[in-house]
Chain A
Amino acid sequence: MTRMSYLEAGKQGLTEAMVADPNVWAVGEDLGRGGVFGQYRGLAERFGPERIVDAPISEAGIMGAAVGAALCGTRPVVEMRFSDFALCAIDELVNQAAKARFMFGGQGRVPLVAREPIGMWRSSAAQHSQSLEAWYVHIPGLVVVTPSTPADNRALLRAAIASDDPVVYMEHKDLWALEDEVPDQAEAEPLGKAALRRPGDAVTIVSWSKQVHVCLEAARTLAGRGAGQGIEVEVIDLRSLWPWDQDAVFDSVGRTGRLLVVQESVTVAGFGAEVAASVAERFWDRLKAPVRRLGSPRAPIAYAPILEDRLRVSAADVAAAVDDLVSIH
């Protein structure tokens, strides 16, 4: 085990993939100088400017070129800087990358990884803070990955690069500095498997990305209540939203009978709605309480810290929702 940050772990995953396969290359704005968050620091020196490629501020060009390069035998890792900027490359990702294999009858593959950092990051406001993961889950052809830990950021990035499918890989900006133990031997991690972050029997909490940590904080608070008031909740980290691990969620809800889905993104039409609907369809006559979702109100993310925090789902919000759910019999 080595202790490293989420950012360093992502860099290690990319480095390992580039060492293993000369067709892997990375392209994006400012990569030669390490990328906007430093996720690529030192890689240009190691792999050269042909494989760590500085791109113009040209998101559509970056993504479109990556589509062509992926169709022609390479594995581009595309850095979009902020997921908000990737909206400039929606045609290239949604109409081209996601559909090329299908509409050409299986003649081509588009093995690109689009790294799109998501999430609220103090006072970054409406165009640098969004979590739009649900948009991409809706698009046939795409894989959507949302790592929450350093170990996952290394293993899942390697799996994403190894995949022949186009992958939208969404790291959370607030997690860059998070440190944890990362196994020295990288195990091959299949995409689509959830991680059980904390076992419990009272309520199943399903989350992904940074909100997993908020849920775990709430779980510790709930468990730590004295005088026999403690509540043990189960926390499932989906890790990837397409495919998502229905079996893990169904297994847990089958035991707890209660579901809370927690996301940072806007609740309306968010991915939590898919989880909630799937559970309701299957467990409608066995649930002990209605399914519950927590997410952001349908409002753009504000700049002022006090306004931004208003939109965040806090550990206290999660604990209150759990209290509500367990009070229903």
Chain B
Amino acid sequence: MSGSQLRRNVDLARLKQQHRDMLRIRAFEEAALAAAKDGLVKGAIHPSIGQEAVAVGVCGNLARADYLLSTHRGHGQTLIKGADATAMMCELFGREGGTCGGKGGSMHIADFDAGMLGANGVVGANIEIAAGAAHAVKLRGEDRVVACIFGDGAINRGPFLEGLNWARIFDLPVLFVCEDNGFAATTRTRDLTGGPGPAARAESLGIPASEVDGNDVVAVDAAVRDKLALIRSKGGGGGGPQFLVCRTYRLSGHTHADAAAYRGADEVAAARQDDPIRRSRAWLEEAGVAAAELDALAAEAGAEMAAVSAAAAAAPWPALEAAYRDIQDIGAPREAVP
């Protein structure tokens, strides 16, 4: 699949941008993992290392006005949807200036201005919320699409059925993306899943589904572009929902604290050969981009995220009143009243 003839007609500028985007995600998460090791990030981090092509291929095709519903493993998606890296890192550090003021952390990262309506700590919960966001888009006659990314573990939860059915019966403009990294937390999903898997389940509900190599950023990009065109085909999202399975592999553990000893080193080593960033780099080199330029791109991403991490470490803690703020208007805690 990494053969150069497949990449011959690729838009080189776009591929370079995608490569850079993937490097930024990787560098962000490596910086976050280092900060966790240093005790600067207190909560769980769910790294998406090895899955960057999905985030870039999907979110690179979304306009700022489009909505994205993400998962607990959503740093990359959030970044590419347009969130500010420093605000994201501040959120992971629990600092003022975080996207959520330090009240959500990695699992609840969100940037509504960028159309990113939230990661979610509950697997699959974003599927129904995405259907509802699309329902609002349709009711209000807006010209947006909704993208909803979830893992393979989510397809065994009820919201998968209820949310997909909802999007189908109301003909809503949603792109469902199953980011299949092979693991439901620390167990292989295939051991826990009846039937042929996510695409067949979506098809059984009348939602057109296709599968793509999720480590091939060009392929994901093209598949998502096709799917979004179908969703938009009747104008205003009248084309109804679409479903895409991206087959990938989680190179890291479930969380930063999971050494993933439940799989062999040989399996992981083989998967590393298929690293999406390694592949995009090889294509760029084949297309004549100098290794030094590609090295510089990687160094740039690393330097950017090192600075982001330093800025987060220097940011102040949230004001104590924030613990009582933004709970509710009616019946807010008495402590919230100045």
Are the C-beta atoms of B140 and A68 separated by less than 8 Å? no
User: Which residues 115-141 of B sit at the A interface, judged by CB distance below 8 A?
Assistant: 117-118, 120-122, 125, 127-137, 139-140
By a CB distance below 8 angstroms, the chain B residues around A108 are 110, 112, 117-118
Are the C-beta atoms of A65 and B132 separated by less than 8 Å? yes
Q: Does A58 contact B (CB under 8 A)?
A: yes
Q: Does A297 contact B (CB under 8 A)?
A: no
Q: Does A72 contact B (CB under 8 A)?
A: yes
20 sampled A-B residue pairs with Cβ under 8 A: A58-B166, A61-B131, A61-B166, A64-B159, A68-B128, A68-B131, A70-B136, A72-B140, A74-B136, A91-B122, A91-B125, A96-B122, A102-B103, A102-B326, A103-B104, A104-B104, A105-B100, A106-B326, A108-B110, A140-B333
Bound-state CA distance A140–B134 (Å) is 27
Bound-state CA distance A68–B121 (Å) is 16
Are the C-beta atoms of A165 and B326 separated by less than 8 Å? no
Bound-state CA distance A96–B127 (Å) is 12
Are the C-beta atoms of B331 and A104 separated by less than 8 Å? no
Are the C-beta atoms of A64 and B128 separated by less than 8 Å? yes
Bound-state CA distance A25–B130 (Å) is 18
By a CB distance below 8 angstroms, the chain A residues around B140 are 23, 72-74
Q: Does B165 contact A (CB under 8 A)?
A: yes
Are the C-beta atoms of B329 and A164 separated by less than 8 Å? yes
User: For residue A106, which residue of chain B has the nearest CB?
Assistant: B326
Are the C-beta atoms of B162 and A60 separated by less than 8 Å? yes
Q: Does A248 contact B (CB under 8 A)?
A: no
Residues 288-321 of chain A, each 1 if its beta carbon lies under 8 Å from chain B, else 0: 0000000000000000000000000000000000
Chain B min CB distance to A63 (Å): 8
Bound-state CA distance A327–B165 (Å) is 62
User: For residue A67, which residue of chain B has the nearest CB?
Assistant: B129
The answer, among A70, A101, A105, A242, for a CB contact under 8 Å with B98, is A105
Q: Does A191 contact B (CB under 8 A)?
A: yes
Bound-state CA distance A191–B332 (Å) is 12
Are the C-beta atoms of A95 and B125 separated by less than 8 Å? yes
**B137, B140, B325, B328, most chain A CB atoms within 10 A:** B328
**B69, B99, B125, B326, most chain A CB atoms within 10 A:** B326
Bound-state CA distance A72–B103 (Å) is 21
Q: Does A192 contact B (CB under 8 A)?
A: yes
Q: Does B158 contact A (CB under 8 A)?
A: yes
Known A-B contacts A74-B140, A102-B103, A107-B112; A67 and B128 likewise in contact (beta carbons under 8 Å): yes
**B98, B108, B111, B139, most chain A CB atoms within 10 A:** B139
Are the C-beta atoms of A104 and B131 separated by less than 8 Å? no
Are the C-beta atoms of A68 and B132 separated by less than 8 Å? yes
Q: Does B169 contact A (CB under 8 A)?
A: yes
Q: Does A10 contact B (CB under 8 A)?
A: no
User: Which residues 208-225 of A sit at the B interface, judged by CB distance below 8 A?
Assistant: none
Chain B min CB distance to A190 (Å): 8
Given contacts A96-B125, A103-B108, 14 further A-B contacts (CB under 8 A): A60-B162, A61-B162, A65-B166, A66-B132, A67-B128, A68-B135, A69-B135, A70-B132, A71-B132, A101-B328, A102-B327, A104-B104, A105-B101, A108-B110
By a CB distance below 8 angstroms, the chain A residues around B120 are 96
The answer, among A51, A69, A101, for a CB contact under 8 Å with B327, is A101
By a CB distance below 8 angstroms, the chain A residues around B135 are 65, 68-69, 74
User: For residue B110, which residue of chain A has the nearest CB?
Assistant: A104
Q: Number of B interface residues at 8 Å Cβ cutoff, please give it.
A: 48
Bound-state CA distance A63–B137 (Å) is 17
Known A-B contacts A74-B140, A103-B104, A105-B103; A68 and B330 likewise in contact (beta carbons under 8 Å): no
Bound-state CA distance A103–B118 (Å) is 9
Q: Does A8 contact B (CB under 8 A)?
A: no
Give the bracket for the number of chain A residues in contact with chain B.
Answer: 35 or more
Q: Does A50 contact B (CB under 8 A)?
A: yes
Q: Does B67 contact A (CB under 8 A)?
A: yes
Are the C-beta atoms of A72 and B328 separated by less than 8 Å? no
Q: Does B74 contact A (CB under 8 A)?
A: no
Bound-state CA distance A103–B330 (Å) is 18
Q: Does B163 contact A (CB under 8 A)?
A: yes
Q: Does A143 contact B (CB under 8 A)?
A: yes
Chain B min CB distance to A227 (Å): 46
By a CB distance below 8 angstroms, the chain A residues around B99 are 105, 107
The answer, among A65, A72, A242, for a CB contact under 8 Å with B331, is A242
The answer, among B98, B113, B132, B139, for a CB contact under 8 Å with A64, is B132
**A72, A74, A243, most chain B CB atoms within 10 A:** A72
Chain A min CB distance to B163 (Å): 6
Are the C-beta atoms of B329 and A72 separated by less than 8 Å? no
User: Which residues 95-135 of A sit at the B interface, judged by CB distance below 8 A?
Assistant: 95-96, 100-108
By a CB distance below 8 angstroms, the chain B residues around A61 are 128, 131, 159, 162-163, 165-166
Chain B min CB distance to A247 (Å): 12
Bound-state CA distance A104–B105 (Å) is 9
Q: Does A147 contact B (CB under 8 A)?
A: no
Are the C-beta atoms of B103 and A142 separated by less than 8 Å? no
By a CB distance below 8 angstroms, the chain A residues around B131 are 61, 64-65, 68
Bound-state CA distance A1–B5 (Å) is 80
Known A-B contacts A68-B128, A192-B330; A103 and B133 likewise in contact (beta carbons under 8 Å): no
By a CB distance below 8 angstroms, the chain A residues around B326 are 101-102, 105-106
Bound-state CA distance A164–B326 (Å) is 11
Are the C-beta atoms of A56 and B169 separated by less than 8 Å? yes
Bound-state CA distance A142–B118 (Å) is 20
Chain B min CB distance to A126 (Å): 22
Known A-B contacts A103-B108, A163-B330, A242-B331; A68 and B134 likewise in contact (beta carbons under 8 Å): yes
Are the C-beta atoms of B128 and A243 separated by less than 8 Å? no
Are the C-beta atoms of A50 and B139 separated by less than 8 Å? yes
Are the C-beta atoms of A105 and B166 separated by less than 8 Å? no
Q: Does A13 contact B (CB under 8 A)?
A: no
By a CB distance below 8 angstroms, the chain B residues around A104 are 100, 103-104, 108, 110, 112, 118
User: For residue B99, which residue of chain A has the nearest CB?
Assistant: A105
